[in-house]
Amino acid sequence: MDNPGFDLLREVFAKFAAKHDGEDLTNRVVRSLAAGGKAAVEKGLEEFPATYIKTVAEDFYAMVTSQELADGVSMTARSFDEEKVKEVLDSALTQLQNDDTALKVAKQLKDMLSKTSTDDIENSIDALMSGRSLGEKMVFKAFFEQARPIIDGMRDASEEEIADQIKELAATIPTDGIAQQVGAMTREITPERVAKQAHDFVGTLPSPGAISDIVQGVGKAASKAFGGISDANGAKNALADFVSEAGDLVRETIANDNASKKTFKKKGGQDFSL
């Protein structure tokens, strides 16, 4: 399906990827690993200096908070109008009214119901749909909310009874109403709302400088740990010391970073540009 929102999103990610060439990144990793042991860690620190890590983090944040990404997400979501949503939903419900399909779904559902809760089922199906389009995901969400009470009532039913309920449910679900609900939700996904959520999300993450400090600090701690290993007991003790030191470093860096964010407040949050 022709979708300008998808085209814009592809351009945003391509722009980020082009700036941080995959071959260059691969070569850096290969050179680091080839050094081996303590030397590998030190080579990694050389290949990925603080300035490089900070720049990559800044560029990633810039991509996430860019107007292009906000426009792309909004255009993609809002391209699924009510007519298209109804078409997708009608097609899915028609398949569910088929005897063989309904029984197959009933067997799978019965097996899931015997092993997990309704919430876990929703989360599992939601994960399986991670690669589907935004419109299909929203259709599923709306459908599942209406189906939840019926699913809870199926736990003690036979597979045949569940299949009959599935067909009955598929035949009676008001696709027009669901399509209107989904259409209303997509219209609310404006570029301004997406941009605000993106900035809010980035605001909860460590700053680029903090990420650089963490990577460099953990790398130096690892180098020191590798350098002190001479036997099995030494390796065990070195690992314990490294884990403790790295954990303290991460916690301290994030705490200091959060404190800095409280004293440095800029209207609209920090700005990054590719």
Could you tell me which of 172, 152, 166 has the C-alpha nearest to residue 103?
A: 166
Alpha carbons 30 and 127: distance in angstroms, whole number = 33
Instruction: Say if pTM beats, i.e. exceeds, 0.75.
Output: no
Q: What is the pLDDT of residue 124?
A: 75
Residue with the bigger pLDDT between 111 and 62: it is 62
Q: For the residues 145-149, what does the mean pLDDT come to?
A: 74
Name the least confident of 77-86, 106-115, 212-221, 223-232: 223-232
Q: For the residues 145-152, what does the mean pLDDT come to?
A: 74
Band the pLDDT of 237: cuts 50, 70, 90: low
Q: What is the pLDDT of residue 192?
A: 92
Q: Helix or strand or coil: residue 155?
A: coil
Q: Which two tokens stand for residue 50?
A: 């603080």
| pLDDT of 92 strictly over 80 | yes
Task: Give percent helix, percent strand, percent coil of the chain, each to the nearest 5.
Answer: 80, 0, 20
Which pLDDT tens digit goes with each residue over 96-115?
888 998 888 888 878 877 77
Band the pLDDT of 133: cuts 50, 70, 90: low
207 DSSP assignment:
P
Q: Do the beta carbons of residue 199 and residue 268 sit within 8 Å?
A: yes
Q: For the residues 201-206, what does the mean pLDDT come to?
A: 87
Query: What's the half-sphere exposure (Cβ side, CA atoms, 13 Å) at 85?
Result: 28
